[in-house]
Amino acid sequence: MNEKVEYWVKIPIGPIHPALEEPEKFIITLDGERIINVDVKLGYNLRGVEWIGLRRNYIHILYLAERMCGICSFSHNHTYARAVEEMAGIEVPERAEYIRVIVGELERIHSHLLNLGVVAHSIGYDTVLHLSWLAREKVMDILEFIGGNRVNYSINMIGGVRRDITEKHRRAILDMIYYYRQEVMPKIEEIFLYDPTVEARLRDSTVIPKRIAIEYSAQGPTARGSGITKDVRYNEKLGVYPDLGVKPVTPKEFTGVIKGDVFDRMVVRVGELWQSMEIIERALDQMPEGKIKAFPKDNMIIFKLKKAEGEGIGRYEAPRGELIHYVRAEPGRDGPAKWKMREPTFPNLFAVARALVGEQLADVPVAIASIDPCLSCTDRVAVIDANTGKKKVLTEVDLLKESIKKTKEINPNIKAKPERVGGVGL
């Protein structure tokens, strides 16, 4: 009697793997080459930033939030600042709102160019990787020109911004936009919209239907690639965005169809590159004169926030999707009693994991790259006591003891026991 026997194989990908740009782990269950289940494992990149923030004042957290992610550093401290401003009832000067828009869209351009290169690299098209990353240098130079840094620009302040945009900045930004329109975008469109090789590899790969995108609360280009017309800048009428013509970008505007595959997610990013340049131009034209801070000195902010009560929620459409920061104040504290954030990568990871079921193993790298995951801001870890089932907060001494224990397990011949490490005595 001939019986069909199914052999299922589990293959771990990550947390460190050449196909992954971030430390994440996927346990792939395969039937031959076909994926039948994807188990997502996170927690390899936790830095305890929220916990650290509760031991800092409101101004210090601005810099901490900015370092949550190197790609969208502006998005984090902008969203945090909006949460604090809502909580304390602080009104931001109109000119500062326009500057926030300009810097935010510059960051979106550099983030999307980076991701287009990463996706191209994942399918072996390294020529496009070098093209898009070379073009990205132009916007990075502009961000450095405005803020003084290539990565953490230190633009935002509670109640406004630290840096103004001068006429020199304006001319440099317009020159950059002209360069992109003439030299870069025609090539990017030719490759990601019309190249038959790219379309053959990306079209119908890892489809996230609209129903699944809604069920998993997908965000950003991942959601819009599935036909969900959701964009915080548009739906929530954020800041001065309603005056600048922002609207959700979907693949239908460019290809006439929406499939929710990797190809569509790339089409959305190409469309948003065009839109960001238009928004920046309008913002430069419409930006009024005036002050850029609600408070001339930082100590005035601390004095006001010490008296603050209640809570605030900041929302912003970061390059990867909706970013949320929550703060809660208690009178007399220099900093928040609670600071919590929700990043777009978390729901997007599980949406793409669901979409990978039924796909081929070779589709995993490009599928993950298509959502542009960022784990430095997404990772969460809860330490549970196995005996009591309760959550446990580990101190620096606890972590030091655990690391010594693990080292001795790896090499039992180690005899030395450090008395003090990093200023902590055992």
Domain ranges of the chain: 49-340, 396-425
pLDDT digits (tens, 9 = 90+) for 241-287: 999 989 999 999 999 999 999 999 999 999 999 999 999 999 999 99
Q: Are 325 and 53 in contact (CB under 8 A)?
A: no
Residues sharing a CB contact under 8 Å with residue 209, sequence separation 6 or more, in sequence order: 226, 260
Q: Is 289 annotated as a binding residue?
A: no
Q: Is 69 annotated as a binding residue?
A: yes
Give the residue-averaged pLDDT of 17-24: 82
Q: What is the DSSP letter of 332?
A: T
pLDDT at residue 227 is higher than 60: yes
Nearest to 131 by CA among 192, 200, 187: 187
pLDDT digits (tens, 9 = 90+) for 284-315: 999 999 999 998 887 888 888 888 889 999 99
Give just the sign of the alpha carbon dihedral 99, 101, 104, 110. Answer: negative
What whole-number distance in Å separates Cα of residue 177 and Cα of residue 281?
A: 9
Q: Is 374 annotated as a binding residue?
A: yes
Q: What is the pTM of this model?
A: 0.89
Give the residue-averaged pLDDT of 25-45: 89
Q: What is the DSSP letter of 325?
A: E
The residue behind tokens 């606890």 is 398
Whole-number average pLDDT of the chain: 89
What whole-number distance in Å separates Cα of residue 119 and Cα of residue 93?
A: 39
pLDDT at residue 107 is higher than 90: yes
Collect contacts of 93-97 with beta carbons under 8 A, ≥24 apart: 93/160, 93/290, 93/291, 93/292, 93/293, 93/294, 94/240, 94/288, 94/290, 95/164, 95/287, 95/288, 95/289, 95/290, 95/291, 95/292, 96/159, 96/160, 96/161, 96/291, 96/292, 96/293, 97/239, 97/240
Q: Which two tokens stand for residue 346?
A: 């978390």
CATH code of domain 49-340: 1.10.645.10
What local confidence, expressed as pLDDT, does residue 333 receive? 84
Which H/E stretch holds residue 270?
helix 262-286
Q: Which two tokens stand for residue 88?
A: 């304390």
pLDDT at residue 72 is higher than 90: no
Q: Is 341 annotated as a binding residue?
A: yes
Task: For residue 249, give the 3-state DSSP assignment.
Answer: coil
Q: Are 158 and 62 in contact (CB under 8 A)?
A: yes
What whole-number distance in Å separates Cα of residue 95 and Cα of residue 181?
A: 27
What local confidence, expressed as pLDDT, does residue 411 receive? 80
CA 313 from centre of chain = 18
Kindly tell me the burial class for residue 27, based on how many C-beta atoms sit within 10 Å of its own C-beta (0-12, 13-18, 19 or more): middle
Q: Are 313 and 120 in contact (CB under 8 A)?
A: no
pLDDT at residue 416 is higher than 70: no
Confidence of residue 6 (pLDDT cuts 50, 70, 90): low
What local confidence, expressed as pLDDT, does residue 424 receive? 42
What local confidence, expressed as pLDDT, does residue 169 receive? 95
What whole-number distance in Å separates Cα of residue 334 and Cα of residue 326?
A: 16
What local confidence, expressed as pLDDT, does residue 111 receive? 95
Q: Are 374 and 320 in contact (CB under 8 A)?
A: yes
Q: Is 1 annotated as a binding residue?
A: no
What whole-number distance in Å separates Cα of residue 219 and Cα of residue 323?
A: 9
Task: For residue 62, give the 3-state DSSP assignment.
Answer: helix
